[in-house]
Amino acid sequence: MALLYPRIGLFGRPETTGLADALRAILSCAESATPGVSMAMEEKTAQANGFSPSPSLRVGSVDALASSIDLAIVLGGDGTLLGIARQIAPSTIPMIGVNQGRLGFTTDLELSRVCEQLPPLLQGGGVVEDRAMLDVAVMRRPSESEPWQSVFNAPALNDAVISRGSVSRMVELDVFVDGHYMQSLRADGLIVATPTGSTAYALSAWGSILHPRLAGVILVPVAAQALSNRPIVLPADSQVTVMVNDGSGTELHCDMQAMTALRDGDRIVIHNSSHSIRLLHPKDYDYFSMLRRKLHWSSNPVLVNRPDPLFPSESN
């Protein structure tokens, strides 16, 4: 029988110590579940954990593996998966997250159960979900007589965050949506987040949780001076432009992994990316169950795992 994912790449966070045993366990589980599979490992992860190229294990850069594998398995927390996803998104490779972090909103599998949970996914028993991304650019004009220039570009799976950086005063921003002036904002910052990012920094700033299937983007002010400033959800195809009025010390972060310093007059242009990431979930994946567990929502044990009897798929 043909393999669904004949070439599998394994990624980790090289700075994390003690990953070798976990990586070996995942390699062993994958090879046992799908005999004949070709395994590869990202080179920095391999070097940091004592793995060398061999007939049974290819080693290469993220870019090299992105063009030569059919599935990515990422060992780490949400931040590790974000970093890999940003690099391999154009290849449309499905990704499985094995959680070794604190929360794990995007990493489904538990390391302690990986040999139980991984084989069904590799054998076709999973659900693929596309997650939207943002393209973020900083436009700057050296002088009034010169054209606007792009001085920074980055993708974002979670969010683009404009913040005061290390300075102790508020940032001053003008916000436009699809060319229309929306508001001026004095705050500690502004978060522009995808549905995936709505459970990241935006959540701690009292932003709404957006279901991943929603096609939208959320703007969340951080500690705004005016109490009337509130989060707002926009259509996914909106273009958000943020003009920096007082840029001294102001910074832009994308997924908290790529950043640049901003100047007065800079315009940050944010819109939906043509790329998305593809997460491979277990067949029994339940978004609301994940939220209950990660956010410690109260729940009625009688109702857990019991479907709504009025839902059409459950009707007799």
From first CA to last CA, the distance across the chain in angstroms is 36
pLDDT at residue 315 above 60?
Answer: no
Among residues 78, 159, 255, 266, the one annotated as catalytic is 78
Output the pLDDT for position 238. 98
HSE toward the beta carbon, residue 235, CA cutoff 13 A: 5
Residues 6+ apart with CB under 8 A from 16: 76, 100
Tens-digit pLDDT profile for residues 107-158? 999 988 899 999 999 999 999 999 999 999 999 998 888 999 999 999 999 9
pLDDT at residue 164 above 60?
Answer: yes
| Highest CATH level, class, for 133-274 | mainly beta
Architecture (CATH level 2) of domain 7-124:
3-Layer(aba) Sandwich (3.40)
Distance of alpha carbon 305 from the chain centroid: 27
Mean pLDDT (the chain) is 93
List residues bridging with 60 in a β-sheet. Answer: 42
User: Shortest CA distance to 122 belongs to which of 275, 9, 13?
Assistant: 9
- Residue 78 appears among annotated catalytic residues: yes
Output the pLDDT for position 79. 92
pTM comes to: 0.92
**Domain residue spans of the chain:** 7-124, 133-274
Residue 68 near residue 93, CB atoms below 8 Å:
no
Residues 6+ apart with CB under 8 A from 299: 292
Tens-digit pLDDT profile for residues 116-127? 999 999 999 999
For residues 298 and 313, the model is more confident at 298
Question: Where does residue 33 fall: left (phi above 0), alpha (psi -120 to 50 degrees), or beta otherwise?
Answer: alpha
Distance of alpha carbon 214 from the chain centroid: 15
Tens-digit pLDDT profile for residues 242-255? 999 987 889 999 99
